[in-house]
Amino acid sequence: MFDLKNDAHELKNLADDTKFASTKKELLSEFVNWRETVIQDQGVSELFRAASTYPKENPMTTAGEWAKVNAEKYDFKVTGWPAWYPTRNLEEWKQVRSQRERYVFRKTEDEAARPIIPYVGREEKGHKTRQESLAAQSGYVG
């Protein structure tokens, strides 16, 4: 829950603010009603959890490496991704956030170049892999 007039970028979540407890309760009730009566949500299925489909732990050095090797073996659109498959760890997400802040939180009249955030293991023409990108940021030349 956000105060869009005073917090247009939705940085301060008011959901746990006691001043808005009744609003939160009302919204949660509406959400539950919508799930149960409108879309008849059954919750997360075992097929989607894919607990018996994937290895319990990542058998390779990186999740990106595992995904690349197993791209033909699994249909990720049907079974989702393994629970241990992170796209980035917390420190990497903090780096992405710091790179995007100036662009995302700019005023409409300000100009800022859109940052290029490389994907994990992406090796398409013109894109660096995560390792190459991190090495470039740290100044490492291998």
Per-residue pLDDT at 118: 62
Ordered per-residue pLDDT tens for the chain, 142 residues? 999 999 988 989 999 999 999 999 999 999 999 999 998 887 777 776 677 888 888 888 777 788 888 888 888 787 777 877 766 778 888 888 888 888 888 888 888 888 776 655 444 445 455 455 545 554 444 4
DSSP states of 109-138: T---PPP--PPTT--STT---HHHHHHHHH
The pLDDT value given to residue 85:
77
Q: 103 and 94 in contact (C-beta within 8 Å)?
A: no
What is the predicted pLDDT for the residue at 100?
86
- Domain ranges for the chain: 1-42, 46-79, 90-138
Q: Which of 52, 44, 67, 57 is nearest to 119 (CA)?
A: 67
pLDDT reported for residue 43: 78
Q: Residue 32: helix, strand or coil by DSSP?
A: helix
Which token pair is 16?
């746990």
Does the predicted model carry a pTM greater than 0.85?
no
